[in-house]
Amino acid sequence: MQRRKLGPLEVSAIGYGAMGLEGYYGSIGQADAIETIRHALDCGITLLDTADAYGDGHNEALLAQAINGRNRDAIVIATKFGIVFDPDERGTSLTTGWGFSLNINGRPEYAQRALDASLKRLGVEYIDLWYLHYPDPATPIQETVGAMAEQVHAGKVRYLGLSNVTAEQVRHAHEVHPISAVQYEYSLWRREAEQTLLPTTRDLGIGCVAWGPLGTGFLAGMTRVAEDDFRYHNPRYQGENRQHNEERFAPLSDMAKELGITAAQLALAWLLHQGSNIVPIPGTRQAARVEENAAAVEIVLTPEHLARIDQLAPAGLHVETPWCKTRDVTSDA
């Protein structure tokens, strides 16, 4: 498996996103989930992405079981905090545009509590890459990152990351403590990060971890989802939008066939061609697909193919609504 750098942190060029193991995209048994994570490690994937909020902490516990007995030093554990899932904790409401809101807390005292809980669930002494999941609209990002930096100094965290942030927030945070990775939704159906966020990460020597690299499955051919699926309320999957998106991306499947690869591999290979600091973290519940996705690192696309893809999904494209709209909140009381 090829390697890439997220700031100073070396990881496999493709990581594994564990969120989908928690039932957001359909249920899967615990044994199969553990097996899928282990298969990712066996394929040479070193970067495992989770968050304290996935399955209300259960995803981290699952990961702990999967890495039990493996060489801890060879695994890069990335987790996130900031989405409040304990009903006794306070936070600030953030509307997602997917039919639900999130509750966000980036206060220093919460950061410390969240980290200690993550370490316990993961059964490890340190976390390799610790992200702020979403910036807290009620807490300056400098304050949150200052608290995160204390945990680096305490030896509980190796590197810091930010997720779902603007270029300006990255610059402010990086002045407080070096940021190694910025995680953002980036794929052929959401390219607006190319406008200011990606250039900023390159300027500052920060890695970019692409979440939803398969368009949450759409780019891999999963264009229809069940009513109880997490994606059902995403406007991208609904009515005319869906039809429009199906038509837009159908030529991608044709191109993949032409190249003798799958549509998922084409979407991942395209991302890897957008810069050496980009690391996609596709999620799947199926071991065979882990392998298929990992193999995308070997695919070389010609300038002609890249130009055809650009016509299909132009630079800066943002299909349908933004992932998150921040509600104006001056207090979390």
Q: Which of 54, 134, 186, 237 is catalytic?
A: 54
Q: Which helix (H) or strand (E) element contains residue 183?
A: strand 179-185
Q: Which of 119, 213, 255, 266 binds ligand NAP (CB under 6 A)?
A: 213
> Other C-beta atoms within 10 Å of 277: how many?
19
Note whether 217 binds ligand NAP by CB under 6 A.
yes
Tokens of 153: 């100094």
Nearer to ligand NAP, 99 or 330 (CB): 99
Q: Characterize the bridge pairing of strands 9-12 and 3-6.
A: antiparallel
Which of 113-120's residues contact partners 24+ apart within 8 Å by CB, and which partners? 114/52, 114/81, 114/82, 115/81, 115/151, 115/156, 115/157, 117/52, 117/57, 118/52, 118/60, 118/79, 118/81, 119/156
Q: Are 107 and 159 in contact (CB under 8 A)?
A: no
Q: Which of 103, 216, 234, 245 binds ligand NAP (CB under 6 A)?
A: 216
How near is the Cβ of 11 to ligand NAP at its closest, in Å? 14
Which residues touch 282 (CB under 8 Å, ≥6 apart)? 14, 16, 17, 213, 214, 264, 268, 293
Q: Which stretch binds ligand NAP (CB under 6 A): 84-92, 191-199, 205-213, 325-333?
A: 205-213
How near is the Cβ of 303 to ligand NAP at its closest, in Å? 25
Per-residue x/- marks for ligand NAP, 113-152, CB under 6 A? ----------------------------------------
| Local structure of 79: helix, strand or coil | strand
**Catalytic status, residue 16:** no
User: Which residues in the 46-65 window bind ligand NAP by CB under 6 A?
Assistant: 49
How near is the Cβ of 162 to ligand NAP at its closest, in Å? 10
H-only helix segments in 123-238 = 141-153, 167-176, 197-204
- 10 Å CB burial of residue 296 (0-12, 13-18, 19+) is buried
Note whether 284 binds ligand NAP by CB under 6 A.
yes
| Local structure of 280: helix, strand or coil | strand
Q: Which of 18, 102, 138, 208 binds ligand NAP (CB under 6 A)?
A: 18
Note whether 82 binds ligand NAP by CB under 6 A.
no
Note whether 164 binds ligand NAP by CB under 6 A.
yes
User: Which residues in the 220-249 window bind ligand NAP by CB under 6 A?
Assistant: 220-222
How near is the Cβ of 115 to ligand NAP at its closest, in Å? 17
Note whether 274 binds ligand NAP by CB under 6 A.
no
| Local structure of 80: helix, strand or coil | strand
Positions annotated as catalytic residues are 54
Q: Which residues bind ligand NAP (CB under 6 A)?
A: 17-20, 25, 49, 163-164, 183, 211-217, 220-222, 262, 264, 281-286, 289, 292-293
